[in-house]
Amino acid sequence: MTAAGDKCRDPPPDSQAEVLRFLRDPAHYGGASPVAVVETHGAYVFLAGAVALKVKRAIRYEYMDLSTPGRRRRMLQREFALNRRTAPGIYRDVVPVTRVPGGGLALNGGGRPVEWVLRMRRFAAADELAVIAARGDFTDALADDLGRSVQAYHHRAPRRSADGTDLINAILDELDRAFAGMHAELGAAPVAAFHTAARTQLAACAVLLTGRSVTGHVRRCHGDLHLRNLVLLDGVPTPFDALEFSETLGTCDVLYDLAFLIMDLRHRKLPRAANIVLNSYLLAATGKEDTGLVALPLFVAVRAAIRAMVGIQARHAGRGSAPGAGSGDARHYLQDALAALAPAPPQLVAVGGLSGSGKTTLSRELAPLLGAAPGAVHLRSDIERKAMAGVAPLTRLPVADYAREGRGRVYARLLERAGTLLRAGQAVLLDATFLDPSARAKAATLSADLGVPFTGLWLQAPAATLMSRLAARQGDASDADAAVLRLQLATDPGPIGWQRLDSSRNLAAALAAARAMLSGGAGLSGGGG
């Protein structure tokens, strides 16, 4: 986020022209040619071979002063410190460009420093998550990995004592000031609608946000967590280029940090990935973030509104290539913000059936479509069972964990989490066999007690089809095999009472039927964008 004015003052007296010419010379990179230069509003990045060199621009904004070499050095050192611990494979060191005898320049030489450079290891552009998304390769597995990676990043981030309500209130104040001068580009009515809805939601969750500050959910986060600042390193999604110029802006609720990523995925028309990232994040957080989802629509909306503001500011400053630059895309971001703030009542959907009937596949298709953006929290019995046992999702558990008593504990956990999430205004999708009539009854009772709509879907297919699907499974959290399925087939589930869906041929037909049923009951909100 930038300050409201985003005005560049008069250029400082020292010039970087000589340094920039020096860093463009391929000879300083072992002869690697050509040297590519990436320019941002605050830096130049020189790319050659396996090397990346970053220099802060000699510039001064109202929110960021880089007008002297000393200030630029301190900013690079802060950037190095923030990113080295999380992306050591990228960040090497901060070194000077020095004046050598005879008047020339040298990188990390022994003369007087005239500029400072952040040395990094260059990574392949093809591994940037923004590039992966653009070429259509953002898989479910990548989204799963991304959610876990971001949660691990937040888990390691230092705690801060700032009040979460005050932090968001200050951002809304700044947006109000900035938007007051942007009616021509954004429209007076959308700006007013955003102001009213955002302030209303902040008032509704102020007590929660302040409480989360006390319980460790406000941390020194990344601050700029979108796909352009994420890369695959050794196959692991890794954040880099954390916001370094403001500790205030870098300090936030962890869900506000996550919200930037969710907003970015949805803006790029990847609602399924956004939903999977959220669910993976929540699972890795072991339920500790469930209550905080009350504020997630507001967080997503504020992130989108900031992007709208920055886009207009970039256009005013003549940086038309910046992400979001231009009034058209800025208006789109503001519409994203208003959509996130639109009311979407919670609901409970349960998907049951024997192992191999396609419950998880169907649930992943439905989840992005239910409730508020980015969709329903998908609670899967197989995953919750592994979490309760303290093991990874693909770790096989002994048969004893699937005995009646063990199943009872898993369903109790599912319903407990579902209740917390529903109270937080979140749609919930339960994915389990639900062979026990009492489990089905408890799910319906929970929704009735909370006054939210309930839909039960029951998938069914011939035993031979189920056996074939189980035999073909690979890399799945479910431990169900032929022996488990035989026990299920021998179990009397009693009267089902849920809407039955035939999943014997392909799940596309079952999905279409499920969507029709939920649409008929006003169960689909269009949360998937």
Residue span of the structural domain in which 466 resides: 348-520
Is residue 528 included in any domain, yes or no? Answer: no
Contact 441, 509 (CB under 8 A): no
Give the pairing of strands 91-99 and 218-220: unpaired
Position 28 scores a pLDDT of 81
The 8-class DSSP code of residue 65 comes to B
User: Alpha-carbon distance 399 to 479, whole Å?
Assistant: 9
Contact indicator for 515, 473 with CB cutoff of 8 Å: no
Q: Looking at the domain assignment, is residue 387 inside a domain?
A: yes
Residue 249's closest CA among 267, 222, 210, 216? 222
Instruction: Judge whether 258 and 150 are in contact, CB under 8 Å.
Output: yes
Query: Position of tokens 């009213």?
Result: 196
Burial of 453 (0-12, 13-18, 19+ CB in 10 A): middle
Q: 355 with 478: CB under 8 angstroms?
A: yes
Q: Is 271 among the domain residues?
A: yes
Q: Looking at residue 231, which CATH number applies to its domain?
A: 3.90.1200.10
Residues 273, 153 share a domain: yes
Within-domain flag for 7: no
Both 382 and 446 in one domain: the answer is: yes
CB-CB neighbours of 510 under 10 Å: 26
Asked if residue 145 belongs to a domain, the reply is: yes
Compute CA distances 127 → 130, 143, 150, 153, 467, whole Å: 9, 14, 17, 19, 38
The answer to whether residues 441 and 394 belong to one domain is: yes
Whether 175 and 270 map to the same domain: the answer is: yes
| Cα gap 494→65, rounded to integer Å | 70
Residue 101 domain-assigned (yes or no):
yes
pLDDT given at position 318: 65
209/248 same-domain check: yes
Regarding whether 433 and 355 lie in a shared domain, the answer is: yes
Query: In the chain, how many domains are there?
Result: 3
Longest dimension (CA), the chain: 92
For residue 502, what are its two tokens? 């035939």
Same domain, 412 and 441: yes
Among residues 92, 122, 152, the one where a domain terminates is: 122
Q: Please indicate, yes or no, if residue 12 is contained in any of the structural domains.
A: no
| C-alpha–C-alpha distance, residues 334 and 338, integer Å | 6
3-state secondary structure of 40: coil
- Asked whether residue 276 falls in the same domain as residue 412, the answer is no
Residues 260 and 352 in one domain: no
User: Cβ neighbours of residue 460 under 8 Å, at least 6 residues apart?
Assistant: 353, 354, 357, 500, 501, 502, 503, 504
C-alpha angle 161-163-169 in degrees, rounded to nearest 5: 150
Query: Both 377 and 407 in a single domain?
Result: yes
Q: Is 102 helix (H, G, I), strand (E, B) or coil?
A: coil
CA distance 66 to 83: 19
Q: Is 186 left (phi over 0), alpha (psi -120 to 50) or beta?
A: alpha
Q: Which of 27, 6, 2 is nearest to 318 (CA)?
A: 6
Give the CB-side neighbour count of residue 261, counting CA atoms within 13 A.
29
Give the count of beta carbons closer than 10 Å to the beta carbon of residue 94: 20
CATH number for position 371: 3.40.50.300
Whole-angstrom distance, CA of residue 84 vs CA of residue 244: 12
- Do 250 and 352 reside in the same domain of the chain? no
- Please state, in angstroms and rounded to a whole number, the distance separating the CA atoms of residues 394 and 380: 14
Nearest Cα residue to 199 out of 279, 277, 305: 305
**φ and ψ at residue 366, rounded to 5 degrees:** -80, -35
Residues of the chain with pLDDT under 70: 1-15, 32, 317-327, 389, 391, 394-406, 477, 479, 520-529
Q: Residue 65 — left, alpha, or beta (φ > 0 → left; ψ -120 to 50 → alpha)?
A: beta
Find out whether 233 and 90 touch, Cβ atoms under 8 Å.
Answer: yes
State the pLDDT at residue 482. Answer: 84
The structure tokens listed for 256 are: 């506000």
Query: What whole-number distance in Å separates Cα of residue 211 and Cα of residue 163?
Result: 8
169: its two tokens: 């209130």
Task: Tell whether 112 is covered by a domain.
Answer: yes
SS (H, E, C) 37-53: EEECCCEEEEEECCEEE
- Whole-number Å distance between alpha carbons of 16 and 66: 12
Do residues 221 and 241 share a domain?
yes
Cβ within 8 Å of residue 512, ≥6 positions away: none
* Among candidate residues 159, 161, 142, the one with its CA nearest the CA of residue 237: 142
Show which of 70, 103, 122 is a domain's final residue. Answer: 122
The Cα–Cα gap between 42 and 310 comes to 14
Q: Domain boundary at 67, 90, 122, which?
A: 122
Report residue 59 as tokens: 């510039």
